Amino acid sequence: MRLGIPTMGNSGFNEEICPHFGRAPNFTIVDTDLNEVEIVPNTSDHMGGSGKPPELMSENDVDVMLCSNLGPRAIDMFEKVGIEVYIGAGETVEEAIEDWKSGKLDEATDREACQQHSH
- At residue 104's C-alpha, the angle toward residues 100 and 108, to 5°, is 75
The total number of residues shown for the chain amounts to 119
The three-state (H, E, C) secondary structure of 38-76, written as one string = EEEECCCHHHCCCCCHHHHHHHCCCCEEEECCCCHHHHH
What pLDDT does 32 receive?
95
What pLDDT does 111 receive?
55
What residues contact residue 58 under an 8 Å CB cut-off, 6+ apart? 81, 82, 83
User: In order along the chain (119 residues), what is the average pLDDT of each group of 10 residues?
Assistant: 97 94 94 95 81 93 95 92 95 96 90 45
What pLDDT does 71 receive?
87
pLDDT digits (tens, 9 = 90+) for 87-98: 999 899 999 999
